[in-house]
């Protein structure tokens, strides 16, 4: 699995260099910053989608591993709303 330099060059030409032998090479040092910013943007979008699709829930902390567990309401076995 990999990235094809010629395909990347069409969209982000500054991420590709042509070496003296004529071969194209990806500037991974520059690509990493782009990927990190893309992940941040995507996470913001996911957070907005989650906020819109799920009402706020209360959580309790699991004493064994520290993970968050949604509190259930009385008569609600799995914590989901009907």
Burial class of residue 30, CB neighbours in 10 A (0-12, 13-18, 19+): middle
For the chain, which residues make up each domain, given as ranges? 5-70
pLDDT digits (tens, 9 = 90+) for 8-46: 999 999 999 999 999 999 999 999 999 999 999 999 999
Supply the DSSP string of 38-54, one letter for each residue. Answer: HHHHHHHHHHHHHHHHS
DSSP state for residue 35 in the 8-state scheme: H
Exposed e or buried b for every residue in 37-64, given b needs 16+ CB within 10 A?
eeeeeeeeeeeeeeeeeeeeeeeeeeee
Mean pLDDT, residues 65-71: 67
**Where do we find the tokens 């991420």?**
15
């Amino acid at each position: 699995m990999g990235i094809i330099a010629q395909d990347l060059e069409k969209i982000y030409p500054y991420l590709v260099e042509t070496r003296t032998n004529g071969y194209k090479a990806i500037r991974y040092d520059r690509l990493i910053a782009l990927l990190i910013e893309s992940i941040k943007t995507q996470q913001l979008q996911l957070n907005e989608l989650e906020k819109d699709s799920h009402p706020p829930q209360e959580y309790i902390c699991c004493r064994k591993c520290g993970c968050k567990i949604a509190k259930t309401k009385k008569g609600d076995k799995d914590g989901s709303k009907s």
